[in-house]
Amino acid sequence: MTPVLSLCTRPLAILLLLAGIVTAQTQSPAAIPESAQSDFQKWLREAHLVEHLDFQKLRRISTSSVTKDDPAKRSLQLALLFLTDETEETKAVGKFVSLLNQYQVTNGVSLPETIFYKLIQTCDWPRADAVVEIFVLEDTFAVYLDSATRQVVIREINQRDSVRQPITLPLTAVTASSGPGLAVLKGAKPTDPNTLARKIEGFFENYFVEANRKAQLHDPQFSPEPIEADYVGLKVAGVKRQVLPSDNYWEKITISVEIKSVPEGQKLVCYLSGKYASGLFGRLPSDNDYADIEESKLRSFTGTILRRLQDYFAAGAP
């Protein structure tokens, strides 16, 4: 049973342990990491999606702005092909929608959102400047952050006669309120729209700082994304025994949390990725020395840290 949590409606100060190194990501990188393509393809295999989706290409295009309303203008672009034996467009699209709904019912989270957040985490990219395109025969489906609603959406783009018309897919509503990557905070939404996001970010930073201090390690390095009312993005480096508690590897963890308003309160959907590497003494390994942490380990840690987050709010979230 999900613990009942209440949110105070007045803004509260957050006590942050600021000894860690903090840098903020505000712009898109100049290039895609060399390992991004192989890392993403490996994830497709581990997530058992290769029987449905075939990797086509991953590219960066030059644009003048990261706030383009047209998803085709976003600088990071991933293309996937939906694998089907259907030759009729309507039937192929129907099978594609069935895949999305089946994943949603089984996992409690959206497959398009899962792919989207895996993309931006793998490439270390701001979510406002990325798009996933999925080809289903002659149709193209775009997954991107809608600048108006601030939600990750999937839209069918009709490109016949050069007309781009967004069409909403008939997807099953996400009703799950519990699971490894889900948590519901019950109660009224805080008056300050950014209060909840700040408190969530503060929890993560305190959590990893305290863990390192108990292990007599230097404070972690944090790379937070700019605070948004409905999103928290944070990268953590220089930690050990978090996702892999039985090993003495250095870990790098990327956390993306979407905050969604639901009738019960605020639902948190957490997408997490991680890498590990060995290092000599107290020195951190170079970025090229890290390998991906397998999905089963990440799911287990996601559930653990969200339960800690629930306890944090149940205790009053100072």
How would residue 73 be classed by pLDDT, with cut points 50, 70 and 90? confident
pLDDT-based confidence at residue 150 (cuts at 50, 70, 90):
confident
Is the per-residue pLDDT at 177 higher than 90?
no
**Domain locations in the chain?**
21-26+177-314, 36-168
pLDDT band with cut points at 50, 70 and 90 for residue 104: confident
215-242: pLDDT as tens digits: 999 999 999 999 899 999 999 999 999 9
Q: What is the pLDDT of residue 159?
A: 55
User: Would you say residue 67 has pLDDT above 60?
Assistant: no
How far apart, in whole angstroms, are the C-alpha atoms of residue 126 and residue 123? 9
Give the model's confidence band at 70: pLDDT under 50 very low, under 70 low, under 90 confident, else very high. confident
The pLDDT of residue 169: 58
Residue 266 is predicted with a pLDDT of 83
Q: How far apart are CA 186 and CA 210, in angstroms?
A: 27
Instruction: Indicate whether 4 pLDDT > 60.
Output: no
Average pLDDT over residues 188-210: 88
Tokens of residue 81, six digits: 């092909």
Ranked by mean pLDDT, the top range of 21-30, 56-65, 128-137, 144-153 is 128-137
Q: Output the pTM of the full model.
A: 0.80
In this structure, the number of other CB atoms found within 10 A of the CB of residue 135 comes to 16
- Burial label, 284 (beta-carbon count in 10 A; 0-12, 13-18, 19+): middle
Tell me which residue of 199, 197, 224, 200 sits closest to 12, measured CA to CA.
199
**pLDDT (0 to 100) of residue 267:** 85
Mean pLDDT of 138-156: 89
Which of 192, 154, 183 is CA-nearest to residue 262? 183
pLDDT above 70 (res 15): no
User: How confident is the model at residue 68, as a pLDDT?
Assistant: 54
What are the residues facing 266 on neighbouring strands?
185, 261
The answer to whether residue 190 scores a pLDDT higher than 80 is no
pLDDT band at 277 (very low <50, low <70, confident <90, very high): very high
Q: Would you put residue 82 in left (φ > 0), alpha (ψ -120 to 50) or beta?
A: beta
What pLDDT shows up at residue 164?
42
Greatest mean pLDDT range, 47-61, 97-111, 288-302:
47-61
Query: Residue 148 has what pLDDT?
Result: 86
What is the arithmetic mean of pLDDT over 275-287? 85
Name 53's bridge partners. 82
Scanning the structure block, which residue is given the tokens 């497709």?
44
Q: Residue 39's pLDDT is what?
A: 92
State the DSSP string of 127-195.
GGGEEEEEEETTEEEEEEE-TTT-SEEEEEEE-GGG--EEEE--PPP-----BTTEEEEESPPPSSTTH
Residue 16: what pLDDT? Answer: 31
**Is 60 exceeded by the pLDDT of residue 206?**
yes
Q: Are 205 and 255 in contact (CB under 8 A)?
A: no
Q: What is the pLDDT of residues 19-43, one digit of tens each?
A: 445 555 556 777 899 899 999 999 9
Q: What is the mean pLDDT of the chain?
A: 82
Q: Check pLDDT > 80 for residue 103.
A: yes
* Per-residue confidence band for 189, with pLDDT thresholds at 50, 70 and 90: low
Beta bridge partners of 57: 79
